[in-house]
Amino acid sequence: MDVLIVGGGLSGLTVAALLSQVGVTCLVVEREREMPRAPRNHRLNPRTMQVLRGAGLEEPVRDIELGRESGGLIVADTVTGSASARLLSPWDPIPPSVSEVPVCTCNERELAAVMRTQARERGAEVRLGVTLTGFEASPGRVTGVLDDGTTVEARYLIAASGSALRDAAGVSAHGPGRLGRQLTISFRADLDLCDGYVLGSVNGLLLPEEPGIFGLTVPMTGLTTEQCAELIRTAIGRADLPVELVGLEPLEIAAEIADRFVCGRVLLLSKSAYVSPPTPGLIGNARIQDAHNLAWKLELVLSGEAGPGLLDTYDTERRPLAELTVRDGLSRLPAHMTAPTVTAEALTVDRLTFELGYRYGTGDPFENPRRPTRQPGGMVPHFDLSARSFVLLADGDEQRWRAAADPLGVEVRAGGGGAEALLVRPDGFVAWRSTEPGHLTQALERLLHREGS
């Protein structure tokens, strides 16, 4: 077994689908037998959809698209009352020069179900109702013990289930921790609502979930069925409204980040790596993009094309971005969930820049995606993410670049910068640029963390 993945949520299933696609053997274990109801919908941004397209996952995800994008929120006391304000959508239109891949809004449970199906169809084994009871990591492998009596030996363990597994790996964390709890009451009612509502009468948020089903999120738990129905009627402003409860989903609001995402052969993902207050348009995208960053690096290491040091860059690249994601979530918390010790300044970049302009390496973590620099660390717009390894973009002196690239097995495409060629990673980020084909071998050895490079 190549990889044991503990946690069958969105991150764990996504990384399983991505790895299985390229022949990496995976076992996913998930303690829950049924996929929990998820009232949250995700706006998958163009970067995420580009990742899914490159992995052959875009079409099945488009099949569950809800067909609408958030137009903002109406602020009112009740749905039937007068609106006092309208909070506009934080997302600006995306210029075609930045990305031509449309966003996709879909339900989290349906999205995870797609990833489970895709992981299985691509060869991953997914066991439900199974828990990892312990593991031991050695220099060459990880041995996991499952509560069904099975012992699993794998080359790597991906922890994607929560803080308990992180703690078991000996990794500490920082952040304010638990901040409060919310409850989402999913219900069916005869309502014609397309917008979301911030409702003062119940101090809650009402959002459409699926056709005919809505979710009311309130800062309280432990409610009876009757209390839930009464809250819904109060929120709508109709005491006689027939209501059918569909599900109750408690959610712990917390902010915590592991001090490292890589611990030898144990790799942290999802809630084992970090948790953040819910922020529209960020968490689902971050989870999928974390999985993608880890998957292509792990595949190159497992195949022997890269040295183990490449996995350390998963930590140095994705952990700083997790810090920014958590900071953004904390800055948007309502007053009743904050405390004097919990402060966070809002990010100064717009949402488009946060989604499509982040960069890796030292210096400013963002660049303007409307004017990409194509410098190392930044994204290449419109890059096809179907490649399994590095790609060389070269225009000028193409024959010399091909002569340097072909012996290394590096694909050459058009799209360089005149005399300069760009070496682009499988995730579309520029890794190196130069005018000297003779330096390509050394650059690739260094980037792949091969011994002696």
Residue 352 within a domain:
no
The CATH number that applies at residue 418 is 3.40.30.120
Shared domain for 289 and 419, answered yes or no, is no
Number of domains into which the chain is organized: 2
Looking at the fold, whether 414 and 275 belong to one and the same domain comes out as: no
pLDDT at 210: 77
**pLDDT at residue number 452:** 54
Nearest partner of 297 among 425, 383, 391, 451, judged by Cα: 425
Q: According to the model, what pLDDT value does residue 73 have?
A: 82
User: Are both 118 and 168 inside the same structural domain?
Assistant: yes
DSSP H helices, 205-282, are 225-236
Q: Same domain for 127 and 22?
A: yes
CB 443 within 8 A of CB 407: no
Q: Are residues 293 and 396 in the same domain?
A: no
Are residues 378 and 326 located together in one domain of the fold?
no
Query: Residue 453's pLDDT is what?
Result: 46
Residues 160 and 261 both lie in one domain: yes
CATH number at residue 140: 3.50.50.60
424 and 284 both lie in a single domain: no
Q: Which residues pair with 133 in a beta bridge?
A: none
Within-domain flag for 220 = no
pLDDT of residue 38: 63
Looking at residue 341, its pLDDT comes to 57
Is 186 inside a domain boundary?
no
Statement to judge: residues 441 and 323 lie in one domain: no
Instruction: Identify the domain boundary among 337, 362, 386.
Output: 337
pLDDT in tens, the chain (453 residues): 999 999 999 999 999 999 999 999 999 999 998 877 666 778 899 999 999 999 999 999 999 998 765 556 899 999 999 888 887 777 778 999 999 999 998 888 899 999 999 999 999 999 999 999 999 999 899 999 999 999 999 999 999 999 999 999 999 999 999 888 889 999 999 998 878 899 999 999 898 887 788 999 998 888 999 999 999 999 999 999 999 999 898 888 899 999 999 999 999 999 999 999 887 778 899 999 999 999 999 999 999 999 999 999 999 999 999 999 999 888 877 665 555 556 677 788 998 999 999 999 988 999 999 999 999 999 999 999 999 999 999 987 788 999 999 999 999 998 877 789 999 999 999 999 999 999 999 999 999 999 754
Which pLDDT does position 118 carry in this prediction? Answer: 98
Cβ-count burial of 371 within 10 angstroms (0-12 exposed, 13-18 middle, 19+ buried)? Answer: exposed
From 315, 337, 359, the end of a domain falls on 337
**Domain with 400 in it:** 372-447
Q: Say what the pLDDT of residue 372 is.
A: 93
Residue 160 lies in a domain: yes
Residue 15 lies in a domain: yes
Does some domain include residue 52? yes
What residue type is 202 in one-letter code? V
* 247 CB-contact burial (10 Å; exposed 0-12 / middle 13-18 / buried 19+): middle
Residues 327 and 383 placed together within one structural domain of the fold? no
Query: Would you say residue 96 lies in a domain?
Result: no
Q: Is residue 94 included in any domain, yes or no?
A: no
Cα–Cα dist 408/231, whole Å: 64
Q: 301 and 425: one domain?
A: no
29 plus 146 within the same structural domain: yes
DSSP 208-228: EEETTEEEEEES-----HHHH
**pLDDT score at 320:** 96
d(CA 172, CA 169): 9
Q: Which tokens in the block code for residue 156?
A: 């790597």
Q: What is the pLDDT of residue 41?
A: 75
Last residue of a domain, one of 319, 337, 355: 337
